[in-house]
Amino acid sequence: MLMEKLFASGVMQMGASRVEPERLVGVFNPAALVGLPVLRAARMKEFSWIAGEWSYENVVPATSANPAYVDVGGGRFALCENGNWICMVKDGREMQQITFDPFSRQWVYVLMNGAYGMLRSREGWIGNEITFTGTMTMLGIECAWRMRWTKESEDRFSFVNEERDGDQWIYIDAWRFQRIR
């Protein structure tokens, strides 16, 4: 069904293979791509404020198996991949985390190291908040996940992680970031 939908929508069409030009294969329809790079660039500007050095606190509540605690640290976010991604920079390595998909018109948040998942935000920024939801596997435990981000100022932001339990969202932890000058 996927290929049928891509061709029927006009996003893909038959065209010459890059490897063997005499072979017809599915290729992107250039007319369907018009405006998408401009849209993506404009939407990525909505997150460009995050580039820079940050300190953080990670606030974790007590459970029946652990006491409450607050971890602290720091990190850097950067625009990477020609401005198409927000990356966390760790040990000089850029790890893609947030992008805007112009085809689906939604934000995408990915984790690929220790925690694995792809969360999406169809609504995008509403005022100073954005919410990502999806399935996350955290150190082997899979759950429905929600991240609610709040941009408090150019120098402060936070997000709350929650997991789905039946018909309600349960607090996991909160991350509070302060820009390092």
Report which of 160, 128, 159, 161 is spatially closest to residue 144, judged by C-alpha positions: 161
pTM: 0.89
Q: How far apart are CA 18 and CA 38, in angstroms?
A: 25
Residue 178's pLDDT is 98
pLDDT tens track for 79-118: 999 999 999 998 889 999 999 999 999 999 999 988 899 9
The predicted structure's pLDDT at residue 113: 84
CB 94 within 8 A of CB 87: yes
For 112, residues 6+ apart whose C-beta sits below 8 A from its C-beta are 95, 96
pLDDT at 169: 97
Q: Decide: helix, strand or coil at residue 4.
A: helix
State the average pLDDT for the chain: 95
Strands (E) across the chain are located at: 12-16, 24-28, 52-60, 69-80, 85-90, 93-101, 106-113, 115-121, 129-138, 141-153, 156-165, 168-179
The tens digit of pLDDT for each residue in 27-55 reads: 989 888 899 999 999 999 999 999 999 99
Name all domains of the chain by residue range, CATH numbers in brackets. 37-179 (2.40.128.20)
Instruction: Using the predicted structure, report yes or no on whether residue 14 has a pLDDT greater than 80.
Output: yes
